[in-house]
A and B are shown apart, each in its own frame.
Chain A
Amino acid sequence: MINIPIKSDTYIINANDFSVAGKVSSDIKKDLKKLGIHPKIIRRTAIVCYESEINIIIHSIGGKIVFELYEDRIVINSEDRGPGISDIELAMKEGYSTATNEVRELGFGAGMGLPNMNRWADEFRIESSSKGTLIKMTIFL
């Protein structure tokens, strides 16, 4: 039954909450370790999850990450409530960023987040409107 997840968790992510940035990805990573998933798969999952977590915090007004583990793959869904990305093609370019100085001081805002997700996920799908952004990333086991 390949379409029923073995494990599924939803994590709420608040906008502008830098103090816990990375906590969700860290929890997901620890869960995957316990499940004995291959370290390279864990690392790629952690990276795409972390970049989406940071993006929800710094660019959106809040959202969630839904983690799903299937027999043959991991799916990370990142969903937020806006303001959305008006030009996705531009946002996907390496180096393009609208991040504030505060975010840059944290070491982010280099415009490499979406390219990193696209790079480390086997499948990357993004949809966005003023109501929010939806990113689905699949990593095959």
Chain B
Amino acid sequence: MKVSDIKNILDANVLTCNNIDKCISYAFGSDLMSDVLAYINEETVLLTGLNNPQVIRTAEMVDVSVIVFVRGKQPTKEIIKLAEENDITILATDHIMFTACGLLYSNGLRGLDEQ
């Protein structure tokens, strides 16, 4: 699905926008950055409730270019700046992690363990 579909499905705001037409097949939801570093190995959208610059750094390391902040978390200016520098698209949704993942799954996104 496209990033623009993710935005619509999650009723999300786009906070930095570089690749809204990008196609994504997998999603990973976690607040543990080391788990992200352990598992992500494909173009993946990262959903997280963690709200700090390490999220962007972590995404940068594993080539994740789309991040969804869940539970209405509003990233700081510093986070947004870092994301822009690294061409990372940030979405923010009011849905909690479980709901956000469920909505994306029922619309066709898959987990990294289902490859």
Contacts and interface: CB of A to CB of B under 8 A. Distances in A.
Interface residues of B, number: 21
A5 interface: no
B63 interface: yes
Q: Choose among A29, A50, A51, A119 the residue with the greatest number of B CB atoms under 10 Å from its CB.
A: A50
A134 interface: no
A115 B60 contact: no
A29 B61 CA distance: 8
SS of B interface (majority): helix
A107 B50 CA distance: 7
A112 to B, nearest CB: 4
Contacts of B52: 105-107
A114 to B, nearest CB: 10
B54 A108 contact: yes
B54 A116 contact: no
Interface in B32-60: 32-35, 37-38, 41, 48, 50, 52-55, 57-58, 60
A26 B37 contact: no
A43 interface: yes
Contact of B63 (A21, A39, A106, A111): A39
B80 interface: no
Q: Choose among B37, B50, B58, B86 the residue with the greatest number of A CB atoms under 10 Å from its CB.
A: B37
